[in-house]
């Protein structure tokens, strides 16, 4: 199985890779807020067009990203089922499963659309920004906030983004090894899960200790030289486009 593409920085020489990461993160926030207010089909279409344009501009592997979306498919499916049965309303005509309401299905589909667009936008952010740059950006934004150790918080967020792809990669590697040994043919689901969860937890904790020892060996300190950021005119145009998408979704009529 191929490694998971999500949460990995893919080096390219594109406009989004060269973009100021401070404005890039701000664009992600604006687009996420815009999608959270999306109601009409035109809202989702506008946000989807913006994300797809960013994906093609960044030259990210779209088929691999869509394939990795199955990781979040379980969450989307659970929410769809819960909304379809829990939200009251008129049932769907001639639907074979009783108890499924039309407002519940619509609400679930809206959530699925929002989550999909936000995940793809995050994939653009992580695919075009290195972890060190992302850490520096978070630290830059937290620096004016009083009573918050910006360097420590930024490092914690950075380590989180280090371990997310690491866990996914280890999961893919372990699944490939178990399939090669026909371990996935076991009928007992509890034993199948135990063969994944316990080794995955053990390897993750072992990897955590290795990172801690490596940081201590290199005398890691929170007192570091502050990075310098450089903004280009094209970066402001991209930020303006993200702001325009937010304004469009907020003020475009829902009906």
Residue 101 has phi, psi (to 5 degrees) of: -95, 150
Q: What is the pLDDT of residue 22?
A: 93
Helices 150-180 and 189-217 pack at an angle, to 10 degrees, of 140
d(CA 54, CA 46): 13
Looking at residue 91, the DSSP 8-state letter turns out to be B
Q: What is the pLDDT of residue 169?
A: 78
pLDDT-derived band at 56, boundaries 50, 70, 90: very high
pLDDT score of 150 more than 80:
yes
d(CA 250, CA 51): 18
pLDDT score of 201 more than 70:
yes
* Between residues 224 and 87, the one the model is more confident about: 87
pTM for the whole thing?
0.81
Q: What is the pLDDT of residue 108?
A: 87
pLDDT score of 21 more than 90:
yes
d(CA 231, CA 229): 7
Which residue stretches of the chain are H helix?
15-18, 21-36, 41-58, 62-68, 70-86, 102-128, 131-142, 150-180, 189-217, 233-251
pLDDT-derived band at 137, boundaries 50, 70, 90: very high
Query: Under 8 Å CB-to-CB from 218, ≥6 apart: which residues?
Result: none
* Between residues 252 and 254, the one the model is more confident about: 252
Q: What is the pLDDT of residue 33?
A: 92
Q: Supply the mean pLDDT for the chain.
A: 84
Could you tell me what percent of the chain has a pLDDT over 90?
24
Residue 37 three-state SS: coil
Tens digits of per-residue pLDDT, 68-124? 777 788 888 888 888 888 888 888 877 777 778 888 888 888 888 898 899 899 889
Q: What is the pLDDT of residue 146?
A: 87
Structure tokens at 157: 């967020």
Tens digits of per-residue pLDDT, 225-242? 778 888 999 999 999 999
Q: What is the pLDDT of residue 3?
A: 52
Looking at residue 233, the DSSP 8-state letter turns out to be H
Tens digits of per-residue pLDDT, 165-195? 788 778 778 777 777 777 665 666 666 677 7
Among 4-8, 193-197, 203-207, which stretch is predicted with the lowest mean pLDDT? Answer: 4-8
């Amino acid at each position: 199985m191929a490694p998971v593409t999500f949460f990995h920085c893919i080096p390219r020489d594109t406009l989004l890779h060269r973009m100021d990461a401070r404005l890039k993160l701000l664009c992600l926030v604006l687009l996420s807020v815009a999608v959270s207010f999306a109601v009409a089909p035109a809202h989702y279409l506008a946000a989807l067009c913006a994300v797809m344009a960013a994906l093609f501009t960044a030259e990210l592997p779209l088929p691999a990203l869509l394939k990795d979306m199955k990781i979040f498919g379980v969450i989307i499916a659970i929410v769809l089922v819960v909304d379809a049965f829990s939200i009251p309303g008129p049932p769907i005509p001639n639907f074979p499963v009783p108890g499924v309401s039309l407002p519940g299905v619509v609400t679930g589909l809206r959530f699925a659309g929002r989550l999909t667009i936000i995940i793809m936008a995050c994939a653009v952010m992580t695919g075009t920004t290195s972890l060190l740059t992302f850490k520096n950006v978070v630290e830059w934004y937290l620096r004016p906030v009083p009573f918050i150790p910006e360097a420590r918080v930024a490092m914690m967020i950075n380590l989180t983004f280090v371990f997310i792809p690491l866990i996914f990669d280890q999961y893919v590697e372990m699944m490939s090894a178990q399939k090669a040994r026909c371990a996935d043919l076991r009928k007992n689901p509890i034993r199948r899960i135990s063969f994944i969860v316990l080794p995955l937890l053990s390897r993750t904790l072992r990897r955590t200790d290795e990172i801690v020892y490596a940081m201590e060996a290199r005398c890691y300190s929170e007192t570091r030289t502050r990075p310098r950021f450089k903004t280009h005119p094209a970066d402001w145009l991209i930020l303006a486009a993200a702001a325009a998408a937010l304004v469009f979704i907020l003020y475009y009529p829902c009906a």
